[in-house]
Amino acid sequence: MIAPTAVATAAAPVELDLDARLAMVGAVMDGRLALANIAFEVDTAHIPAAEPIPDVTAPLPLTPTLAPSPYSTPIAGLLHRARNRIVVDGWCRDALYDDQGAICPIRAIRLEAASRYEADDACVLLLESIQRTFQAETIPSWNAQQTSVGTVLIAFDRAADLAHARNL
């Protein structure tokens, strides 16, 4: 007689939803992290403890500082300082200065100059620089025609470059 054969039936795979899969992966990862933590503690047990990192309480400086003068000659340095003074104090178009403290190019030069002669030399170079690009009789007439401080600052940069090239 022939024995009956047993037919093995395979169970259908169980479909897990997203939450169940995330829970299983989370449990596996927790185990791995715990094991890694223990390994780290064992590996670093011989290292002496470092001092705690001090709290940083000083505020970071938020105001940008002006660049130091790149010029080694006195008149070029004066023109650079006068340019920076206009950046800091503000630019005035129709007067030597206004109520808010803004100043014109000539006043900026006078405030930064060590002597009257140094200021005169810087004004001559600034006017020459202006006249190379613009049709202007004087610095005040040119300054009154400007609509923004950008052109004034460029004129100071060009004048400082000219003074430096002439070793003034």
pLDDT in tens, the chain (168 residues): 565 665 666 677 778 899 999 999 999 999 999 999 998 888 887 777 777 777 767 776 666 677 788 889 999 999 999 999 999 999 998 888 899 999 999 999 999 999 999 999 999 999 999 999 888 899 999 999 999 999 999 999 999 999 999 998
* Residue 94 included in any domain: yes
CB of 133 within 8 A of CB of 99?
no
The answer to whether residue 140 sits within a structural domain is yes
Q: Is residue 130 part of a domain?
A: yes
Residue 2, pLDDT score? 60
Domain-embedded: residue 57: no
* Structural domain harbouring 148: 74-165
Place of tokens 């037919």: 7
Q: How many domains does the chain have?
A: 1
| pTM for the structure as a whole | 0.62
46 within a domain of the structure (yes/no): no
Angle at 122 between CA 116 and CA 125, to 5 degrees: 145
Q: Which two tokens stand for residue 74?
A: 């006195």
Query: Look-up: residue for tokens 């400007």?
Result: 146
Q: How far is residue 66's CA from residue 89's CA, in Å, rounded to a whole number?
A: 13
SS3 122: helix
Token digits for 85?
């003074």
Instruction: Indicate whether 53 belongs to any domain.
Output: no
Is residue 147, in this structure, part of any structural domain at all? yes
Strand partners, 103: 91, 97
Q: Is residue 128 part of a domain?
A: yes
